[in-house]
Amino acid sequence: MANSRKKMKILHTKKSVSALSRSWHRAGETVALVPTMGCLHAGHLSLVALARKKASRVIVSIFVNPTQFGPNEDFARYPRTEKADLKLLREAGADAAFLPTPAEMYGPEGEATVSLSESRLSRTMCGEFRPGHFAGVMQVCLKLFNIAMPDIAVFGEKDAQQLAVLRRMVRDLDVPVKLVGAPLVREADGLALSSRNRYLSAADRERALSLSRALADAEAAWRAGETRPGPVLAKLRRAVSRAADSLDYAVAVDKDTLEPVRSLGPGTLVALAARFGSTRLIDNRIFR
Ligand code: AMP
């Protein structure tokens, strides 16, 4: 095993990924997939580490998926750092990296004609501000599952709504993959790691610390005995609104159904999205 781990495979075609996964399965190995959009950081690498614990082979995909970006979003300027990403993945012990082009994924016409319809789960929260986003996420993830045929796929709780939407898709369509959630990784000062953090000026970054602080305060209030979402969210919204250029939403919902909770408790997801300059950041805390 140690020997065969030596060289990470770099693949660009769907066919080569499917063939590799098949060969691993035939050899009795288990396969984990970690889908990413690249510009990798410690948050992504924690997913790779978890994937390595859960499966004997790990494929990491790097694909900035055009179908999950809105027309006025940051698709064109989304940071692409392929060389550094591959180095990090090698060091992290990934077995294969899959870097398709949009044409490889969607064909020369550029668009798949069949798409998954959205539900309340994908229309709420970020879905309200990014219409079509989760339809694109479901589409690309289902394609990646079909291509890589993983036994498990690892997703970060940083994107808690994405995880809830994908869990539901896997259940509704009986997709033969087990989804594993990985804890949100933060900088030492609390800022949630995100590829988009590099858009932030020093001043914006300072202001963005309000997100993790306000979420920590919300959890502290719950631990001190407050179970009413109303006052906790009101305080959270005030604090973030003071620091951010705008607050898209701040909610307390059940982490699986994304329905607003009547009472804060274990399994409550407090999640928000806010803008600093032209950068939109999300953050959350899941109460345990
Ligand atoms: P992205 O490249 O932003 O599409 O993210 C790829 C995967 O990494 C998703 O499952 C994210 O939830 C996860 N991820 C991104 N940032 C973090 C973080 N700070 N902590 C944990 N997981 C993360």
Gap between the Cα atoms of 166 and 52, Å rounded: 21
Local confidence band at 130 (pLDDT 50, 70, 90 cut-offs): very high
Residue 154 CB burial class (10 angstroms; 0-12, 13-18, ≥19):
buried
Q: Name which residue sits closest to atom 18 of ligand 1, judged by CA.
A: 43
Q: Please state the atom number of ligand 1 nearest to the C-alpha of residue 39.
A: 2
Pocket test for ligand 1, best of 34, 141, 159, 286 (most atoms within 8 A of CB): 159
- With cut-offs at 50, 70 and 90, classify the pLDDT of residue 240: very high
Q: Tokens in use for 234?
A: 């009101």
The residue among 65, 42, 64, 46 whose CA lies nearest residue 54 is: 46
CA of 18 to the centre of ligand 1 (A): 24
Closest C-alpha to 161, from 266, 256, 37? 256
Atom of ligand 1 nearest to the CA of 195: 3
pLDDT tens for 30-84 read 999 999 999 999 999 999 999 999 999 999 999 999 999 999 999 999 999 999 9
Which DSSP helix (H) or strand (E) runs through 88?
helix 82-92
Mutational test site, ligand 1, from 34, 60, 89, 158, max ligand atoms within 8 Å of CB: 158
Confidence of residue 5 (pLDDT cuts 50, 70, 90): low
Asked if residue 188 has pLDDT above 60, the reply is yes
The 10 Å Cβ neighbour count of residue 151 is 19
- Residues flanking ligand 1, CB < 6 Å: 36-37, 43-44, 46-47, 155-156, 158-159, 182, 184-185, 192-195
- So what's the architecture of 7-182 in CATH? 3-Layer(aba) Sandwich (3.40)
In degrees and rounded to multiples of 5, residue 62 shows phi and psi of -125, 110
146 CA → ligand 1 middle, Å: 21
Residue 235: what pLDDT? 98
The CA 144 to ligand 1 mean position distance, Å, reads: 16
Binning pLDDT at 50, 70 and 90, where does residue 114 land? confident
Chain centroid to CA 98: 17
Nearest to 126 by CA among 233, 273, 255: 273
Contact predicate 264/254, CB 8 Å: no
pTM score of the predicted model: 0.97
List the end-to-end C-alpha distance of the chain, in Å, as a whole number.
37
Nearest to 271, CA basis, from 136, 94, 129? 129
How many Å apart are CA 138 and CA 114, to the nearest integer?
Answer: 12
44 assigned to active site: yes
Cα–Cα distance, 98 to 59 (Å, whole number)? 7
Q: What is the pLDDT of residues 140-164, one digit of tens each?
A: 999 999 999 999 999 999 999 999 9
Of the pLDDT bands very low, low, confident and very high (cuts 50, 70, 90), residue 115 is confident
Query: What's the sign of the alpha-carbon dihedral 4, 5, 11, 16?
Result: positive
Q: Rounded mean pLDDT of the chain?
A: 96
Mean pLDDT of the region 24-35: 98
- Ligand 1 pocket: which of 33, 34, 36 to mutate (most atoms <8 Å of CB)? 36
Q: Which residue CA neighbors atom 12 of ligand 1 most closely?
A: 156
Tell me the percentage of the chain whose pLDDT exceeds 70: 98
Q: How many CB atoms lie within 10 A of CB 190?
A: 15
| CATH among 3.30.70.270, 3.30.1300.10, 3.10.20.520, 3.40.50.300 for 195-286 | 3.30.1300.10
Cα separation values, 275 from 68, 117, 158, 248, 280, Å: 19, 27, 17, 7, 4
Q: What is the DSSP letter of 69?
A: S
Q: What is the pLDDT of residues 211-235, one digit of tens each?
A: 999 999 999 999 999 999 999 999 9
* pLDDT value for 113: 79
Domain positions in the chain: 7-182, 195-286
Give residue 29 CA to ligand 1 midpoint distance, Å.
25
Question: What mean pLDDT do residues 191-196 have?
Answer: 97
Q: What whole-number distance in Å separates Cα of residue 229 and Cα of residue 245?
A: 24
Instruction: Tell me, in angstroms, the distance from the centre of ligand 1 to residue 47's CA.
Output: 8
Q: Whose CA is nearest to atom 11 of ligand 1?
A: 156
